[in-house]
């Protein structure tokens, strides 16, 4: 049932209790597990393995004080195997890898090099423990030597095939095909695919290193840019108080003109213009709300710190739209066998914590501006520090509710990550029905994520005002939105880029 109008009501309610305690306990247990995973990673990991190549035994290539000090390059026995799906499942290229002094500069097969003057050169690409006391078949079966070596060039201290094009034809050395060492001629494109897959993680790490270096060199310019953006944002909010009507109408007209340019003489353009005419009163409400929001910021100046804190995780939480790659750098233990499960847990906790931080920011803002909204004499009836009061109230009473809402969103996001992974696996498949089903699933879960985000935001506002648990708040918010779906449309459009305006819209309903 909807809340009845109560002229004596003064929000936010201060006499409230803890909500969703069970989810709060689960959340803290998950954080303890997350810390434990971090400790395990720190204990078993080595930061150098992110930068320097390691062979199949986990030994560094080209590092001083190691037996591979004079062997700076990593050589793959069969780089074609790097194109296998096992690279994504086991986080390693399923072929032996050794450290070498130099990359191969010629094409040789083990069969041809054996018992010839080229064998002395070929041996440097065999396992360090290799003894020339076996037959050719036994050596290849035991993986003591590669079946074939191909002209290669070093890239990120790894040996990759020296593939080039000649009049649009892929070649390695002077050949368009190569013998795999077992008497079979293969296409160069297989080498290209293997090199691409092996290079994925290296390119990602190289990009991360470049970004980090850029930050260290130009951090002060970034700070200056942030300060300028803050000043311009403050001026924009101040101007909203006096020019809100003009700015809203200008934005609406610009949208109409853009749509008119894209869909000239389209009936949709006519429909939009008619909607603007019939809903002009709603637009005036949106203008009034924007003016009120700018006044609210004037009374809660500490809310200007919001863009520097909670929304900063917005960039990193877009991971469902990206592709995550993990690398295995040698060694085999219980830790490495459990690495897949640990990585899944790591990604899931990242989503959960990121969504929790955003939820905490939304509840904090809602609580602060609820204090402004229900203050009869502003700012005398407001708390001395409304933002801090709302923040402490949210952490003290509603950690469980925020964890509950962010958990639901994290589950949907992890499903989207799995779907992205499966989509990558199905790209080479010819099953059109499977591709169609995958597109439908991705679309459905994208829509579901957007809906949950929208519902959560309004549920958090209800939590901040009434202090109810997540399910009750989400239900009340949903029915409130349904009862005011027309009234809410234009004001929401005007407030979609501003969380402060968004809260004011919800109060207006």
User: Does position 453 have pLDDT exceeding 80, yes or no?
Assistant: yes
Verify that 41 and 97 share a domain, yes or no.
Answer: no
User: Does position 393 have pLDDT exceeding 50, yes or no?
Assistant: yes
How much is the pLDDT for 428?
59
Verify that 459 and 503 share a domain, yes or no.
Answer: yes
Structural domains in the chain (count)? 2
Report how far residue 397's alpha carbon sits from residue 394's, in angstroms, rounded to the nearest whole number: 6
At 326-348, the pLDDT tens digits run: 444 444 455 556 777 888 898 89
Q: What is the mean pLDDT of residues 384-409?
A: 91
Could you say which of 176, 195, 225 is where a domain stops?
Answer: 176
Tokens of 228: 């300028």
How much is the pLDDT for 211?
57
User: Does position 219 have pLDDT exceeding 60, yes or no?
Assistant: yes
Verify that 480 and 372 share a domain, yes or no.
Answer: yes
CB 300 within 8 A of CB 387: yes
How much is the pLDDT for 57?
80
Residues of the chain by 3-state class (helix, strand, coil), percent to 5: 65, 5, 30
- Average confidence score pLDDT of the chain: 74
Could you say which of 116, 144, 176 is where a domain stops?
Answer: 176
User: Does position 60 have pLDDT exceeding 80, yes or no?
Assistant: yes
Verify that 119 and 93 share a domain, yes or no.
Answer: yes
With bands split at pLDDT 50, 70 and 90, how would you rate the model's confidence at 473? very high
User: Does position 4 have pLDDT exceeding 60, yes or no?
Assistant: yes
Verify that 343 and 379 share a domain, yes or no.
Answer: yes
Verify that 353 and 418 share a domain, yes or no.
Answer: yes
CA-nearest of 365, 476, 459 to 404 is 459
197 is a domain residue: no
Could you say which of 110, 142, 176 is where a domain stops?
Answer: 176
Report how far residue 320's alpha carbon sits from residue 471's, in angstroms, rounded to the nearest whole number: 26
Verify that 341 and 476 share a domain, yes or no.
Answer: yes
Domain region containing 340 = 21-45+311-508
User: Does position 153 have pLDDT exceeding 90, yes or no?
Assistant: no
How much is the pLDDT for 305?
59
Verify that 322 and 458 share a domain, yes or no.
Answer: yes
How much is the pLDDT for 85?
45
User: Does position 251 have pLDDT exceeding 90, yes or no?
Assistant: no
Verify that 41 and 149 share a domain, yes or no.
Answer: no
How much is the pLDDT for 321?
41
Report how far residue 335's alpha carbon sits from residue 333's, in angstroms, rounded to the nearest whole number: 5
What are residue 14's DSSP bridge partners?
Answer: none
CB 508 within 8 A of CB 491: yes
Which range of 129-138, 161-170, 387-396 scores highest in mean pLDDT? It is 387-396
Verify that 71 and 38 share a domain, yes or no.
Answer: no
User: Does position 389 have pLDDT exceeding 90, yes or no?
Assistant: no
């Amino acid at each position: 049932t909807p809340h009845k109008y109560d002229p004596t009501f003064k929000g936010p309610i201060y006499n409230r209790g803890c909500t969703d305690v069970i989810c709060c306990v689960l959340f803290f247990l998950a954080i303890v597990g997350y810390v434990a995973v971090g400790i395990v990673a720190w204990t078993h990991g080595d930061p150098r393995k992110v930068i320097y190549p390691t062979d199949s035994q986990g030994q560094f290539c080209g590092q001083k004080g190691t037996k591979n000090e004079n062997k700076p390059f990593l050589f793959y026995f069969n780089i074609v195997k790097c194109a296998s799906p096992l690279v994504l499942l086991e986080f390693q290229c399923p072929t032996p890898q050794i450290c070498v002094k130099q990359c191969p500069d010629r094409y040789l097969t083990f069969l041809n090099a054996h018992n010839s003057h080229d064998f002395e050169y070929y041996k440097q690409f065999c396992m360090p423990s290799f003894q020339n006391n076996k037959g050719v078949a036994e050596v290849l079966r035991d993986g003591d030597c590669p079946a074939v070596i191909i002209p290669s060039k070093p890239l990120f201290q790894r040996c990759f095939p020296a593939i080039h094009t000649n009049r649009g034809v892929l070649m390695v050395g002077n050949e368009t095909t190569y013998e795999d060492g077992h008497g079979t001629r293969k296409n160069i494109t297989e080498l290209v695919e293997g090199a691409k897959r092996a290079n994925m993680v290296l390119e990602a790490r190289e990009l991360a290193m470049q970004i980090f270096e850029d930050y260290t060199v130009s951090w002060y310019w970034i700070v200056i840019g942030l300060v300028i953006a803050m000043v311009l944002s403050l001026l924009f909010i101040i101007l909203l108080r006096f020019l809100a009507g003009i700015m809203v109408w200008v934005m609406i007209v610009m949208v109409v003109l853009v749509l008119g340019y894209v869909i000239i003489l389209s009936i949709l353009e006519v429909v939009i213009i008619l909607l603007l005419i019939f809903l002009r009163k709603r637009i005036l409400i949106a203008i009034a709300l924007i003016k009120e929001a700018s006044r609210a910021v004037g009374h809660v100046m500490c809310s200007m710190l919001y863009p520097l804190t909670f929304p900063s995780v917005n960039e990193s939480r877009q991971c469902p739209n990206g592709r995550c790659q993990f690398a295995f750098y040698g060694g085999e233990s219980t830790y490495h066998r459990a690495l897949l499960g640990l990585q899944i847990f790591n990604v899931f906790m990242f989503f959960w914590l990121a969504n929790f931080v955003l939820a905490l920011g939304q509840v904090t803002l809602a609580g602060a501006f609820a204090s402004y909204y229900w203050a009869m004499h502003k700012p005398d009836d407001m708390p001395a520090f409304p933002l801090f009061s709302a923040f402490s109230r949210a952490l003290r009473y509603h950690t469980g509710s925020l964890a509950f809402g962010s958990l639901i969103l994290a589950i949907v996001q992890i499903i989207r990550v799995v779907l992205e992974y499966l989509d990558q696996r199905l790209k080479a498949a010819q099953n059109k029905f499977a591709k169609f089903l995958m597109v439908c699933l991705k679309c459905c879960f994208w829509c579901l994520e957007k809906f949950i985000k929208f519902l959560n935001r309004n549920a958090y506002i209800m939590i901040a005002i009434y202090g109810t648990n997540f399910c009750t708040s989400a239900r009340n918010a949903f029915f409130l939105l349904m009862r005011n779906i027309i009234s809410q449309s234009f004001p929401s459009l005007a407030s979609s880029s501003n969380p402060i305006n968004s809260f004011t819209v919800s109060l207006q309903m």
